[in-house]
């Protein structure tokens, strides 16, 4: 019991913060505690959430991915371009864009693994490449799509107030949870994050896993770009600037240790919801401004990083 508690207490801390924040917002702002508004937290943050799900794999393996914001922008532009100028149907365009994203991520993972380069630098190059490509695609940097019938019909799908982007996000969380918990791949992700040379000596497939991790991260970001097109009705080359920071923050607030090896995608879901509530509050409270959300996210990040530090010291003291 205590062992389970000790292992899960960062997650419990995150859950506690989420509950307190949600309760406080519901008490302060009438109308906040409705299913409609709850669903909106998922809709408005589906792109961030998808990127954060992918980032969870990367951080669990001890890496970092700075390219996700740029990949989101690139995916939204390529999808819009294929459908509008290429005349592709959405059923052909979406798989093509997803494949492109996964391939880009797999390339970054392969370079990181084969040449033993810092993920920080390789994904930085990926960020420059993807952002540059997105901006170079068309001269006006933005492709309006809202008049397309296919996009229109998809954006109006609603189940119990949850729209399609929200459902894609929740499905990704469920898939990622199952993959991390029940598959050989998932266990290898944790093993690489805990101790890579030990993982390799045990004969675990570190190469294919590392490539898979970065492919998943880029795939999730690509899905984020696609749902962004469905949600906003446009491809936008300057979308998701600095979104990688929020994604990393959501993962860390969700209790995943940045050094790798410990954490969960359920924590990331809670982390995304915490960020979602903090971002939503200024629209309810007239005098609060959006810059307070950045400061609040920074402070939360600080608190959780300090807590992680304390728990590491505590664990080290116990053994």
Partner 1 sequence: MSSTLRQLIWPLAALALLLGFNAAFHPSFFHFQIHDGRLSGSIIDVLNQGAPVLLLALGMTLVIGTGGIDLSVGAIMAVAGAVAAAALREHAPVALAIAAALGAGAAAGVWNGSLVTLAGIPPIIATLILMVAGRGVAQLITHGETLLIKSDSAFNVIGRGVILGVPVPILIFLAAALGLSILVRLTALGLFIEAIGGNEQASRYAGVRVGPIRLAVYLLMGVLAAAAGLIDAADIAAADANNSGLYLELDAILAVVIGGTALTGGRFTLLGSIIGAIIIQTLSTTILSFGRNMPVELNLVIKAAVVLVVCLLQSSELRRLLTRTWRRSQ
The helix/strand/coil state of 255 is coil
Rounded distance, CA 314 to CA 293, Å?
31
The length of the chain in residues reads 319
Q: Which stretch binds partner 1 (CB under 8 A): 179-187, 192-200, 205-213, 245-253?
A: 245-253
Which CB atom, from 107 or from 175, has the smaller least distance to partner 1? 107
Q: Is 301 in the site for partner 1 (CB under 8 A)?
A: yes
> Whole-angstrom Cα distance, residue 6 to residue 110?
36
- By CB under 8 A, the count of residues binding partner 1 is 47
Sites for partner 1 among residues 248-287 (CB under 8 A): 248-249, 252, 258-259
* Cα atoms in the 13 Å half-sphere on the side-chain side of 300: 27
Least separation in angstroms between residue 26's CB and partner 1 is 24
Asked if 57 contacts 256 with a C-beta cutoff of 8 angstroms, the reply is: no
Query: Running DSSP on this structure, what letter comes out for residue 262?
Result: -
What are 24's two structure tokens?
């406080």
* Contact call for residue 288 and partner 1 (CB under 8 A): no
Q: State yes or no: residue 118 binds partner 1 (CB under 8 A).
A: yes
Determine, following the binding rule CB under 8 A, whether residue 289 of this chain makes contact with partner 1: yes
20 in contact with partner 1 (CB under 8 A):
no
Choose one: 80-88, 217-225, 279-287, 288-296; the region binding partner 1 (CB under 8 A).
288-296
Q: Does 307 bind partner 1 (CB under 8 A)?
A: no
Q: Which is closer to partner 1, CB of 259 or CB of 315?
A: 259
The first and second tokens of residue 113, run together, are: 């693994």
Q: Any idea what DSSP says for residue 319?
A: -
DSSP code, position 203? T
Is 86 a binding residue for partner 1 by CB under 8 A? The answer is no
Among 79, 224, 297, 311, binds partner 1 (CB under 8 A): 297
The distance of Cα 310 from the centroid of its chain, to the nearest Å, equals: 26
Piece in contact with partner 1 (CB under 8 A), picked from 94-102, 198-206, 208-216, 303-311:
303-311
Neighbouring C-beta atoms of residue 21, cutoff 10 Å: 18
| Cα–Cα nearest to 101, from 136, 65, 145, 147 | 65
Contact residues toward partner 1 (CB under 8 A) are: 64, 66, 111, 114-118, 120-122, 124-129, 131-133, 135-136, 139, 241-242, 245-246, 248-249, 252, 258-259, 289-295, 297-299, 301-302, 305-306, 309
């Amino acid at each position: 019991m205590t062992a389970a508690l000790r292992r899960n207490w960062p997650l419990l801390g995150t859950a506690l913060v989420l509950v307190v924040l949600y309760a406080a917002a519901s008490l302060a702002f009438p109308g906040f505690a409705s299913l409609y508004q709850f669903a909106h937290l998922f809709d408005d943050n589906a792109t961030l959430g998808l990127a954060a799900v992918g980032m969870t794999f990367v951080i669990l393996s001890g890496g970092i991915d700075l390219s996700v914001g740029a990949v989101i922008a690139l995916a939204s532009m390529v999808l819009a371009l294929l459908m509008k100028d290429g005349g592709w149907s959405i059923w052909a365009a979406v798989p093509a864009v997803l494949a492109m994203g996964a391939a880009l991520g797999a390339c970054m993972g392969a370079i990181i693994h084969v040449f033993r380069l810092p993920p920080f630098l390789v994904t930085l190059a990926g960020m420059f490449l993807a952002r540059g490509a997105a901006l170079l695609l068309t001269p006006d940097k933005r492709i309006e799509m809202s008049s397309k019938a296919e996009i229109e019909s998809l954006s109006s799908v609603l189940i119990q107030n949850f729209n399609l982007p929200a459902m894609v996000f929740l499905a990704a969380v469920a898939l990622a949870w199952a993959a991390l918990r029940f598959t050989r791949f998932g266990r290898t992700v944790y093993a690489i994050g805990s101790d890579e040379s030990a993982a390799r000596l045990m004969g675990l497939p570190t190469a294919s896993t590392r490539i898979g991790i970065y492919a998943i991260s880029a795939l999730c970001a690509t899905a984020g770009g696609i749902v962004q097109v469905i949600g906003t009705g446009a491809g936008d080359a300057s979308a998701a600037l600095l979104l990688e920071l929020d994604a990393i923050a959501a993962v860390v607030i969700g209790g995943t240790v940045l050094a790798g090896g410990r954490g969960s995608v359920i924590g990331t879901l809670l982390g995304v919801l915490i960020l979602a509530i903090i971002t939503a509050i200024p629209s309810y409270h007239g005098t609060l401004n959006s810059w307070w959300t950045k400061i609040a996210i920074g402070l939360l990040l600080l608190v959780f990083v300090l807590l992680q530090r304390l728990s590491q010291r505590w664990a080290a003291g116990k053994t």
